[in-house]
Amino acid sequence: MGRSLGLAAWRALSRHTAERAFAPSASRLRDELVWIHAAEPGNYLAVQDIALRIRNARHGVQVLLTLPDDETLRDVRTSWTPPDGVTLERLPSEHPDAIDSFLTHYQPDFGIWVWGRLRPALIDSVLQSGRSMILIDAGNDGFDTRHDRWLPDVTRRILSGFDAILVRSAGAAERIEALGVDRRLIQRAPPLQAGGQALACDDGDIADLSALLGGRPVWLAARLQAEEAGPVLAAHRAASRMSHRLLLIMNPRQATDTSSVADKVRAEGMRLCDWSAGEEPDDNTQVLLSDDPQDLGLFYRVAPVSFLGSSLVPGYGGCNPFEAAALGSAVLYGPNVRRYLPFYSRLASAGAARIVNDADSLSAAVQQLISPDQAAAMAHAGWDVISKGAALTDRVIGLVETALDAREGGTHATT
């Protein structure tokens, strides 16, 4: 890139106004590191999905997910515990010292900036170090920061440095091209939406459990809070009157709740199979109980209907419904899903999810969806939602893989 007087002015201003210090909260591992910045609050859930997809797509890759400020970082940490290999961090300020500390410590191999609130000094420093970055989900708004209004050449310079700019609309493409950005960098792509993770499961486990079930109708209560066990068991008892071979699989959100849930099952006089203890269901089993969340990849595959817990009672915020929808299970949920409300809204609008408020409405929904054609219709609608959400993520993963493969053949940039 050529010299930019506007960027020089911006850097000078940042020296006097931006926070100088940056203290990393995690160590930098030796594996490849993809850095993703989520600039806008409405994108965080979808960005988490991209981070997990990248981890699953490339062996050994680490993901650094940055957020714009400490308050946002605290909010995200409250609602989401990142898995191994994903680090949450606050974005450094525009002060050169903070940027140098950030890049020296983390040394990202590739960067993804999710549209909004561009940081000119930081992005330029990354690009000048020889690292590649892409900009995704760009819209025709968002050009309202100080540097956009006062220093328009800064925005043009920064945008021109990205390897690719994925825009969500024709209007966005026109706006960015009007700034003087080479149209060859600009690509139309679907809007950013979470696409869901297909939880892992061994094919042999599916065959074994299916053989044990012998064609019995099954429904699943996943991520269940202890307070929800009573309504779920009441719903199961009522639904079993209409379908005598119906089996309920219960998976508590907290393993520590398993014994209390088991006690409630026995208190109801229902025959229990403790899957986590190595027991296997037989024709008389009414409830199968597992305390391992790793089993959900198996259970979503064998249960055509799933009630997603942490949603009937307030205070928990629900759980991610795309886990179930991605594996072909129709979704039932309670009214308290604030944390994942955009996901549930998308599924409900498509006819792939249904809200229930108590044991009676849950029982009625389960009885209706035991019919294979009803559950299949909802599952198909859920798959359509998942596929649309995955379209941009698939494009992004392709760009990440290409860039990292090319980088493997050369020398890694250092700061």
Beta-carbon neighbour count of residue 393 at 10 Å? 23
Angle formed at CA 377 by CA 371 and CA 380, multiple of 5 degrees:
135
Domain 5-192 has CATH 2.40.50.140: no
Classify each residue of 406-415 as buried b or exposed e, where b means 16 or more C-beta atoms within 10 Å of its C-beta.
Answer: ebeeeeebeb
With a cut of 80, say whether residue 279 has pLDDT above it: yes
pLDDT tens digits, one per residue of 313-366: 999 999 999 999 999 999 999 999 998 998 999 999 999 999 999 999 999 999
- Three-class DSSP category at 105: helix
Task: Please report the pLDDT score of residue 146 as a whole number.
Answer: 53
Average pLDDT over residues 232-255: 96
Classify each residue of 206-241 as buried b or exposed e, where b means 16 or more C-beta atoms within 10 Å of its C-beta.
Answer: eeebeebbeebbbbbbbbbbbebbebbbbbbbbbbe
- Three-class DSSP category at 411: coil
pLDDT tens digits, one per residue of 36-70: 999 987 788 889 989 998 998 899 999 999 999 99
CA–CA dist 175, 279 (Å, integer) = 62
Task: Please report the pLDDT score of residue 193 as a whole number.
Answer: 86
Which helix (H) or strand (E) segment holds residue 5: the answer is helix 5-17
pLDDT band for 28, please (50, 70, 90 cuts). confident
**Which residues 6+ apart lie within 8 Å of 74 measured at CB?**
none
Q: Where are the domains of the chain?
A: 5-192, 203-386
CATH superfamily of 203-386: Glycogen Phosphorylase B; (3.40.50.2000)
Cα dihedral across residues 171, 173, 179, 180: positive or negative: negative
Average pLDDT over residues 282-307: 97
Closest CA to 120 of 107, 133, 108, 110: 133
CA–CA dist 138, 54 (Å, integer) = 20
With a cut of 60, say whether residue 415 has pLDDT above it: no
Task: Please report the pLDDT score of residue 5 as a whole number.
Answer: 67
With a cut of 70, say whether residue 2 has pLDDT above it: no
State the greatest distance between any 2 C-alpha atoms of the chain, in Å, as a whole number: 78
CA–CA dist 107, 403 (Å, integer) = 15
Task: Please report the pLDDT score of residue 414 as a whole number.
Answer: 41
Cα dihedral across residues 78, 79, 84, 85: positive or negative: negative
- Amino acid 24 reads P
- Amino acid 278 reads G
Cβ–Cβ under 8 Å, residues 50 and 126: no
Average pLDDT along the chain:
91
Do domains 5-192 and 203-386 share one topology? The answer is yes
With a cut of 50, say whether residue 264 has pLDDT above it: yes
The token pair at 92 is 């450094």
The token pair at 280 is 């296997």
Backbone angles phi, psi at 222, to 5 degrees: -110, 150
Please indicate whether residue 97 or residue 49 has the higher confidence score (pLDDT). 97
Task: Please report the pLDDT score of residue 413 as a whole number.
Answer: 43
DSSP 399-413: HHHHHHHHHHTSPPP
Beta-carbon neighbour count of residue 388 at 10 Å? 15
**Which residues 6+ apart lie within 8 Å of 85 measured at CB?**
55, 61, 62, 63
Give the distance, in angstroms, between the CA of residue 84 and the centroid of all CA atoms in the same chain.
14
Task: Please report the pLDDT score of residue 412 as a whole number.
Answer: 46
Max mean pLDDT range (19-33, 79-93, 183-197, 256-270):
256-270
User: Residues of the chain with pLDDT > 70: what percent?
Assistant: 95
With a cut of 70, say whether residue 149 has pLDDT above it: no
With a cut of 90, say whether residue 311 has pLDDT above it: yes
Average pLDDT over residues 202-226: 96
